[in-house]
Amino acid sequence: MTRVVILTGDPVGAAMAGPAIRAWNMALELQRHGHDTRVVSTSEATEPGTHEGVTLARVRAGDDRAFREHERWAEVIVLQGYGLGQFDSLRRTDRYLVADVYAPMHLEALEQGRDVARATWSLRVATARDSLSDQLRRADLVLCASERQRLLYLGHLGALGRVSPTTYEGDPELRGLLALAPFGLPTEPPAAGSALRGVHPNIDADSRVLLWGGGVYDWFDPLTLIEAVARAKKAVPGIRLVFLGTRHPKVDEMGIVRRAVDLATELGVEGREVIFNDTWVPYDERGAYLLEADVGVSTHHVHVETTFAFRTRILDYLWAGLPMVVTEGDGFADLVHDEGLGIVVPAHDADALAEALTTVLTDTAAAERYRANVARVREQYTWPVVLEPLVRYVDAPHHAADYVAGRASMGVGSSRARRTAGPGHSARMAWHHLRHSGVRGVAERVRARFRFRQ
CA distances, 161 to each of 252, 365, 389 (Å): 37, 53, 24
Q: Express each pLDDT in 62-81 by its tens digit.
A: 999 999 999 999 999 999 99
CATH number for 60: 3.40.50.2000
338 inside domain: yes
Q: Express each pLDDT in 29-74 by its tens digit.
A: 999 999 999 999 999 888 899 988 899 999 999 999 999 999 999 9
435 inside domain: no
Over residues 419-423, mean pLDDT: 64
Residues 259, 173, single domain; the answer is no
247, pLDDT greater than 80: no
Residues 236, 331, single domain; the answer is yes
Residues 223, 150, single domain; the answer is no
Q: Which of 381, 397, 430 is the last residue of a domain?
A: 381
441 inside domain: no
445 inside domain: no
Structural domain harbouring 65:
3-184+387-421
pTM above threshold 0.95 = no
Residues 268, 315, single domain; the answer is yes
Q: What is the pLDDT of residue 313?
A: 82
Q: What is the mean pLDDT of the chain?
A: 89
Task: Give 409's pLDDT tier (boundaries 50, 70, 90).
Answer: very low
Overall domain count for the chain: 2
256 inside domain: yes
Residues 306, 376, single domain; the answer is yes
191 inside domain: no
